Amino acid sequence: MSARPKTSARGNFRRGFVAPGTSFRWSPSGPFDAGWKDTIDLRPAEEVAIAIRFDGYAGKYVFHCHNLEHEDMAMMANFTTR
């Protein structure tokens, strides 16, 4: 199963986006971004399209920014796969 959501870094802060238990690629990507990854480092105002791979588990996943204070800013949530 796979999904293709978009995410972005708004404001003047870098964001470390992660969806534990998954691997993903994104575009546009740079020369060091080849292959499946588990974290994206988003620069300020950067927007990417993500291709997420869900292997071996259907159910609840989470995604979040690595800045804990962003939880109240909708940068930490869960989603369900089937």
Lowest mean pLDDT of 8-12, 20-24, 37-41, 61-65, name the range: 8-12
**Cα–Cα separations (whole angstroms), residue 27 to 6, 10, 56, 60:** 10, 17, 24, 25
Residue range(s) defining the domain that contains residue 42: 2-66
Mean pLDDT, residues 24-42: 84
Q: Per the domain annotation, does 61 fall within a domain?
A: yes
* Position 75 in a domain: no
Contact 34, 2 (CB under 8 A): no
Evaluate whether 26 touches 9 at the Cβ level (below 8 Å).
Answer: no
Q: Is residue 60 part of a domain?
A: yes
Inside any domain, residue 7: yes
d(CA 22, CA 56): 10
What tokens does 29 get? Answer: 């990507």
Arithmetic mean of pLDDT, 54-79: 77
Tell which wins on pLDDT, 7 or 58: 58
The number of distinct structural domains making up the chain is 1
- Here the tokens at position 81 are 């796969």
Q: What is the pLDDT of residues 7-21, one digit of tens each?
A: 656 667 777 778 888
